[in-house]
Chains A and B, each alone.
Chain A
Amino acid sequence: MKRRDFIINGAVVGAGVALTPRLLAAFGRPAYPWEISSPFASLGQEPLTPELAARALEAARLAGATYADVRINRNRTQAVGTRERQITGLADNETMGFGVRVLADGSWGFSASATLEAEEVERVARRAVAQARANAKARPRPVELAPAPAHPNVEWRSPVEIDPFTIPIEEKVEHLFAANAAALAVGGIRFVSSSMFFLREEKFYANSDGTITDQVIYRAAVNMTPTAVAADNSDFQTVSSNTDLEPRGLGYEHVRDANLVANAAKWAESSVRKLSARSVEPGRYDLVLMPSHLWLTLHESIAHPTELDRIMGYEANYAGTSFISMDMLGRFRYGPSFMNVQGERSTPGALASVGYDDEGVRPHDYLIVREGVLNDLQTTREQAPWLADWYRAQGKPVQSHGNSYAQSWADVQFQRMPNINLLPHPDRDVPLDELIGDVENGILIDGNGSFSIDQQRYNAQFGGQAFYEIRNGSVGDMLKDVAYQIRTPEFWNAMDLMGGRSTYGSGGSFGDGKGQPAQSNAVSHACPPTRHRDITVINTGRSV
């Protein structure tokens, strides 16, 4: 990797570009090349980037900011969608811009623009400071930031083997068409949709504390959904590929490993079987939840309620608050003593993995639940000081966990969950068969389906993709119309066994929503299969 030798803080660098302000005038020469020379190229390697970042920080300082950071992004995405034997969408998207966040008069200000030119960068920085001053009129208590070590000139890259943007579009389309054909070859399948999505995000970040990070993040997703329709149109059912596939922070190798063509018949056959599956009898069942399903229940009922901004009421108008309060740290029993929940951004290929977060903090691994008891919460630099008493009592430093994130240059960064994992059984490598073997009357759920949870994360309802009855210790027929309803604390305390290391799987999403304006976070959750006793199951099928 190239080493750059510039100093951001306080430096005013001479401008080498035409100073045409605002987007209306931006019809001149391009400041940045379109072609990305290699997967290892990054914004930080282009000399203009640190120069513009320095100008933004300096303009903010001169306007009176006590802290400033700037994020410059170049994002490329590609989406390919098909149904049966035709394309439904083929789109390539590039967006580039920058956002400046400042503290002035104790308040945050944030301003962003697509025009990466010197005058615009300075105008936007000044606009952020003016906005912070306006905000200060309605902010009696000033923002304080936890100290964070400076990371001057550091780099990070997603562990990509094949840059998806180098793969010809024909190959991608042919791959999806071949998978569609394999699904349509299964009798009873009338429709199939399939898609691929790729992201390459270059993220350059600098702050007035001296941190400069240069990162390149990749994401890849591939999926398909066959639809079986009854001959008389009286019913239709689907089992999607999410029983086996999850989005990853990887390159095209993820698509090849997914092997859609070989697996299509499996999802198609499950969809057809679901048409004639027995509609579930509502009641109470023991549930065995596969990682392809459980990750979403974990996301909703553990990952969201342990976001500190929610707990403090900052998201009350949309995402909600939490059933957890700070005084439950060290006291609240989330689940049995073999339950450990970890926050991390370091697993290779997991969606929230990065080298540095969106305020320049290097994330570290931490335990949110330790031996069944609530142990820590998700934080940013603004939030870590709110937990100062707890950390001091534990003999821990008051520092951010590195959980700041913004979905794009146009959005302000705030607290977003890292990868949050339910760790496998700590004592022994419990196999899946052992979870099933002890169930008299239960249901095994594979894949994630319908999901909904209240704004404090107590009451949740989850569907799935494929449901199988468990009778006297063995997996039997397929079921349909299944959803279970839980109250979070009872649900995790009703878990009496989980799988061990060799059963550990994961799932994830690009679409974790929070904030106003709503932003999408990308996150993975690893977990073993689990068994929960005596859970309420409802039947969701109704006739008109």
Chain B
Amino acid sequence: MPNFLSREQAQELAGRVLAFSTADEARVNISSGEEGNTRFAVNQISTAGDVTDATATVTSAFGRRIASATTNRFDDESLRRVVQTSEQLARLSPENPEYLGELGEQTYVGGDSLVESTAELTPDRRAEIVVAVTAPSAERNLLSTGFLLHRTGSTAVATSRGLFAYNADSRLNFTTTVRTPDGTGSGWAGIGLNDVDQLEAGDIGMRAIRKAELSRDPRAVEPGRWTVVMEPTAVANMVGLMMGQLNARPADEGRSFFAKPGGGNRIGEQFLDERVTIWSDPADPRLFTTPFTGEGLPNRREVWVENGTLRTLSYDRFWAQRQEREPTGFAAGYYMEGGDASTDEMIASTERGLLLTRFWYIRGVDPRTILFTGLTRDGTFLIEDGRVTTPVKNMRWNESPIFMLNNIEMMGAPVRVSPSESSGLASATVVPPLKVRDFNFTSLSDAV
């Protein structure tokens, strides 16, 4: 088994740390685990890495004076010192009027996605997974590049008021980009998972290979408003931008899309197509979310958007108290409900449109409308009269998930995706493919 702290070991370590505390209140956050990765490029492994690490972050409070310090060394002297450092910083810092003290014992639901097959993943097996993509790519005279990343570890929170929370989990992510040797075609496929035994690397490789072959020699189309069929990864790239803004405080403060003109926030307002429903739930096996926040607050099931209406925003403890609401926690990962259309049906129903694989270099442009810019990448095709007819050049878009989720034409079945641009170990993200009208492309790119 990999090298991470069990529940008992984390509890013992937390006890040792808190025993050094002389503060009015203290909290310790512990994280430990092993992470492994293998990268490949030009059909062969380029680099790999296996890392063992563990950290303890101590937060100390004297009244409302609070600070934290982190170490990755767990001998007695280091632990004593990290407690002292946090206490020293806390004593010197001004009072934080928003500090509400540490939490006592809590009850949690969900979590615990430790998977033995992932925990036991070796460099040898990683190399076999890589060959499942590099071999067929080489056979077809294509160039494959990609990344397999996995981590098995645990996190724990303990406070001087008796709270103890622990969760262990395994996650992995596998993505590949296959290019044609002449540099005119590129295709991508990837997935996020908890269990490596569910990874069908050969299938993922074949999807990327097929896209690379079909995307050779793209032709230019005019930027402008297009009907688009978005594969689930592209949908997650956009919806994630909105999920990151579901925070009550900036909304109530008048500096967020979710601020209501004139004051307050948009909770209760229908702001998206009525088919849009998005929730988080640490107890749902499709999401496997961490059941607690860094403060040890339980993450619960939260329906963020129901039938297009904003049901809640996230409230931290301070803002919840101030606004007389319950704190929400913040369950990372989300599930967006879909519909029953297949991607093929979306294409078949489209007279003229684009099929999109994923987005790249997504950056904020205007926070007032959650407007972002980015580009299409690794599989962009023209749809004409219900058929995919030709690859097209990539384009830059300036678009907001708010506009996009008001322009839905069709929805498909939700699937788990690899949502991060860098193929990092993201929280579970389950979204449907979408057909959307009036997606705003602003310029052409020559990039393949």
Contacts and interface: CB of A to CB of B under 8 A. Distances in A.
Bind each other: yes
Interface stretch (B224-232, B252-260, B323-331, B430-438): B252-260
Contacts of A314: 41-42, 46, 145
A452 B375 contact: yes
A347 B394 CA distance: 38
Contacts of A544: 257, 369, 402
B15 to A, nearest CB: 12
A497 interface: no
Nearest to B97: A86
B50 A233 contact: no
Interface string B40-55: 1110111111111111
Interface in A319-373: 320-321, 323
Contacts of A87: 66, 93-94, 96
Interface in B136-193: 143, 145-147, 149, 175-177, 179, 183, 186, 188
A14 interface: no
A317 B423 contact: yes
A58 to B, nearest CB: 20
Interface string B50-74: 1111110100000000111111111
B364 interface: yes
B348 interface: no
A139 to B, nearest CB: 4
Measured as residues with beta carbon below 8 angstroms from the partner, the interface class of chain A is 35 or more
A29 interface: yes
A137 B363 contact: no
A112 B51 contact: yes
Given A95-B70, A134-B127, A459 B445 contact: yes
A319 to B, nearest CB: 9
Interface in A366-422: 410-412, 414
A107 B45 contact: yes
A506 B233 CA distance: 37
A23 B41 contact: no
Contact of A455 (B52, B96, B361, B369): B361
B360 interface: yes
A316 B365 contact: no
Contacts of A22: 3, 52
Interface in B225-261: 253-255, 257, 259-261
Given A23-B52, A114-B72, A232-B261, A320 B447 contact: yes
A540 B67 contact: no
A113 interface: yes
Measured as residues with beta carbon below 8 angstroms from the partner, the interface class of chain B is 35 or more
Nearest to A111: B50
Contacts of A34: 77-78, 81
Interface in B111-156: 122-124, 126-127, 130-131, 134, 143, 145-147, 149
Contact of A96 (B73, B254, B444): B73
B203 interface: no
B86 interface: yes
Contacts of B402: 544
B39 interface: yes
Contacts of B134: 138
A538 B442 contact: yes
Given A94-B70, A233-B262, A318-B422, A140 B254 contact: no
A286 to B, nearest CB: 19
Interface string A104-117: 00011111111100
Nearest to A113: B52
B41 A458 contact: no
A86 B448 CA distance: 48
A2 interface: no
B373 interface: yes
A138 B89 contact: no
10 contacts: A23-B53, A34-B78, A91-B67, A94-B73, A112-B50, A134-B124, A138-B134, A412-B48, A483-B365, A485-B396
Given A138-B131, A314-B41, A536-B443, 7 more contacts: A27-B76, A90-B93, A134-B127, A137-B131, A169-B89, A323-B447, A461-B396
Q: 6 closest Cβ contacts across the A-B interface?
A: A456-B447, A459-B445, A454-B447, A134-B123, A233-B254, A516-B147
